[in-house]
């Protein structure tokens, strides 16, 4: 099923594959397109429009029993560190994660009605939660093929929420819809929040209706989280953690504004979810509380493995547990702190350096809009931290200023050795930073002391991502 706009790309992508049916859905106000009938012709006998498909069909649901262990979706990983992998997400995974998130966000317990359908039974404190049942209005901009969009749409329906599908993101239009529809719940990836925070006049908007701002899909710096609490004064700003291999969500911060919120943490495990922090070199050994290690997860949302990759499935999915490939730790209250991908960690002179910590610090500088840190191999020391920085438009900065700013806040071995100003960070369709592309750019070298014209003095982005300064 596809919208008319990307149909030509889809037709090229599936050429030679045994696809039997392609359904062109109609355009809408939020996602306009021309000539949906013409688009169906791109697929020959396999192509049809949604209107033609349902014409003459019964309006009653078919009497079909779907096995819980059958595949509901092949969800593809973000491909931020390598080639995307297809994940076998089962029907029971989607139902389980939908119920987990719906109950967590609404303050309810699940139950069954007389016909076996899922219902939510609110607790006495449900009024304090982000998604009051039957009275919430959500604005969804996340792609529906992505885990965040898929599960969000499902639990919005389960909670009886009114859902506004935003279509292609435009910051001004997005804020206008928040005001017009009195939106109470908005989920999104960090790229969306950075764009909103950089929007002129955002502090003059009437955003008081928003009760929950939920960030997921990728890490976000604590500085941006603090700014979101200022822009959305009545909202609980919630960061969660998840991955495609676990359908969508594994942990989340409290959904009530009065709950215990720890900036920089991705919250606690959802219901029926277990987390363990294990030694990456000895996966059978759990590390002490507070110590960093590899995050393992177990719960009803853990998928059944990768499509056509038996060796990787055996390595990542072990005895009901999922090796996430992420590094993090649990504090004394059981809150999770994700340091980043294990593949993103770099080793400088034998010391482990975690990019997430450096990105958080850079994000706190007023001249930085976004930052991402990767390692570049240098034989004498291992890897050096290279920061790609998108400057904020309101003021300039220099590579020296930013490196000194970080150096004042970290131990010497964690200092950033190189700054590169860029117009924008490379993003996947789901809004994740493509660190594989940044590593490729980091391997390119130039004159270490000569910034591109105007970049160092004014903070003007350099779209080519050229090197501006070595430490």
Question: 114-144, pLDDT tens digit by residue?
Answer: 988 899 999 887 677 878 899 999 998 877 7
Q: Which residues contact 348 (CB under 8 A, 6 or more apart)?
A: 375, 381, 382, 383, 384, 385, 413, 414
* Higher-scoring residue by pLDDT: 287, 31: 287
Q: What is the pLDDT of residues 387-404, one digit of tens each?
A: 999 998 766 789 999 999
Sequence-ordered strand ranges (E) for 190-286: 212-215, 236-241, 251-252, 268-269, 274-279, 282-286
Cβ neighbours, 10 Å, residue 285: 10
Report pLDDT for 38.
79
Residue range 189-217: average pLDDT? 91
Report pLDDT for 81.
57
Is the per-residue pLDDT at 321 higher than 90?
yes
Residue range 16-21: average pLDDT? 85
Whose structure tokens read 């076996």?
116
Cβ neighbours, 10 Å, residue 369: 22
Q: Which residues contact 225 (CB under 8 A, 6 or more apart)?
A: 215, 237, 239, 263, 264
Report pLDDT for 64.
87
Name the pLDDT band for 454 (thresholds 50, 70, 90). very low
Whether the CA torsion 171, 173, 176, 182 is positive or negative: it is negative
Report pLDDT for 129.
82
Name the pLDDT band for 463 (thresholds 50, 70, 90). very low
Residue range 318-334: average pLDDT? 94
Right CATH for 346-470 from 3.40.50.150, 3.40.50.2000, 3.30.300.30, 3.30.930.10: 3.30.300.30
Start-to-end Cα distance in the chain: 51
Is the per-residue pLDDT at 464 higher than 60?
no
Residue range 143-153: average pLDDT? 83
Residue range 19-44: average pLDDT? 83
Nearest alpha-carbon partner for 249 in 285, 289, 225, 217? 217
Angle, alpha carbons 203-29-160 (nearest 5°): 75
Q: Cα torsion for 111, 117, 118, 124, to the nearest 10°? A: -50
Quick one: what percent of the chain has pLDDT higher than 90?
A: 52
Is the per-residue pLDDT at 305 higher than 50?
yes
Are the beta carbons of 433 and 420 closer than 8 angstroms? no
Residue range 102-121: average pLDDT? 92
Whose structure tokens read 């973000």?
78
Residue range 47-61: average pLDDT? 90
Nearest alpha-carbon partner for 324 in 280, 360, 268, 286? 280
Name the pLDDT band for 34 (thresholds 50, 70, 90). confident
Q: For domain 71-341, give the fold.
A: Rossmann fold (3.40.50)
**What gap in Å lies between CA 169 and CA 71, rounded to an integer?**
30
Task: Classify strands 212-215 and 162-165 as parallel, antiparallel or unpaired.
Answer: unpaired
Is the per-residue pLDDT at 432 higher than 50?
yes
Residue range 276-301: average pLDDT? 92
Report pLDDT for 286.
94
User: How many angstroms from the chain centroid is the CA of residue 253?
Assistant: 15
Domain edges within the chain: 7-54, 71-341, 346-470
Is the per-residue pLDDT at 220 higher than 60?
yes
Q: What is the pLDDT of residues 72-100, one digit of tens each?
A: 998 888 665 567 788 999 999 999 999 99
**DSSP secondary structure letters along 91-118:** HHHHHHHHHHHHHHHHTEEEEE-TTS-E
Report pLDDT for 36.
64
Quick one: what percent of the chain has pLDDT higher than 70?
A: 91
* Higher-scoring residue by pLDDT: 355, 183: 183
Residue range 235-245: average pLDDT? 92
User: How many angstroms from the chain centroid is the CA of residue 184?
Assistant: 20
Report pLDDT for 461.
34
* Higher-scoring residue by pLDDT: 52, 33: 52
Nearest alpha-carbon partner for 25 in 11, 13, 39? 39
Is the per-residue pLDDT at 471 higher than 80?
no
């Amino acid at each position: 099923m596809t919208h008319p706009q990307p149909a030509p790309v889809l037709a090229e992508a599936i050429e030679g594959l045994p696809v039997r049916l392609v359904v062109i859905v109609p355009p809408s106000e939020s996602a306009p397109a021309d000539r949906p009938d013409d688009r169906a012709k791109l697929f020959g006998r396999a192509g049809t429009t949604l209107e033609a498909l349902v014409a003459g069909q019964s309006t009653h649901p078919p009497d079909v029993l779907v096995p819980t262990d059958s595949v509901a979706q092949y969800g593809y990983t973000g491909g931020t560190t390598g080639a995307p992998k297809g994940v076998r997400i089962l029907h029971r995974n989607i139902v389980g994660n939908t119920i987990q998130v719906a109950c967590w966000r609404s303050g309810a317990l699940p139950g069954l009605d007389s016909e076996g359908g899922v219902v939510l039974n609110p607790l006495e404190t449900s009024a304090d939660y982000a998604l009051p049942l039957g009275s919430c209005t959500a604005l969804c901009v996340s792609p529906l093929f992505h885990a965040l969009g898929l599960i969000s749409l499902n639990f919005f329906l389960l909670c009886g929420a009114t859902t506004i599908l935003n279509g292609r993101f435009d910051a001004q239009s997005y804020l206008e819809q928040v005001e017009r529809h009195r939106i109470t719940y908005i989920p999104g990836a960090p790229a969306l929040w950075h764009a909103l925070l950089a929007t002129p006049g955002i502090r003059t908007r009437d955003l008081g209706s928003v009760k929950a701002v939920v960030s997921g899909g990728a890490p976000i710096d604590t500085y941006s989280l603090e700014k979101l609490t200022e822009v959305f004064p009545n909202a609980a700003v919630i960061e969660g953690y998840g991955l495609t291999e676990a359908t969508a969500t594994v942990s989340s911060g409290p959904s009530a504004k009065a709950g215990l919120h720890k900036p920089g943490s991705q919250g606690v495990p959802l219901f029926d979810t277990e987390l363990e922090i294990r030694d990456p070199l000895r996966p059978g050994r759990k590390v002490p509380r507070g110590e960093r290690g590899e995050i393992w997860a177990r719960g009803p949302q853990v998928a059944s493995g990768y499509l056509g990759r038996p060796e990787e499935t055996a390595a990542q999915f072990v005895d009901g547990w999922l090796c996430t490939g992420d590094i993090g730790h649990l504090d004394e209250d059981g809150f999770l702190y994700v340091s980043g991908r294990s593949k993103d960690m770099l080793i400088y002179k034998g010391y482990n350096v975690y990019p997430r910590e450096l990105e958080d610090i850079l994000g706190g500088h007023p001249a930085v809009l976004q930052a991402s840190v990767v390692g570049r191999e240098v034989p004498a020391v291992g890897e050096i931290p290279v920061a790609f920085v998108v400057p904020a438009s309101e003021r300039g900065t220099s590579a020296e200023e930013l490196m000194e700013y970080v150096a004042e806040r970290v131990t010497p071995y964690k200092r950033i050795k190189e700054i590169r100003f860029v117009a924008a960070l490379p993003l996947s369709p789901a809004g994740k930073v493509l660190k594989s592309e940044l590593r490729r750019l980091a391997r390119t070298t130039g004159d270490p002391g000569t910034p591109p014209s105007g970049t160092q003095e004014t903070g003007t982005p350099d779209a080519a991502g050229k090197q501006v300064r070595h430490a």
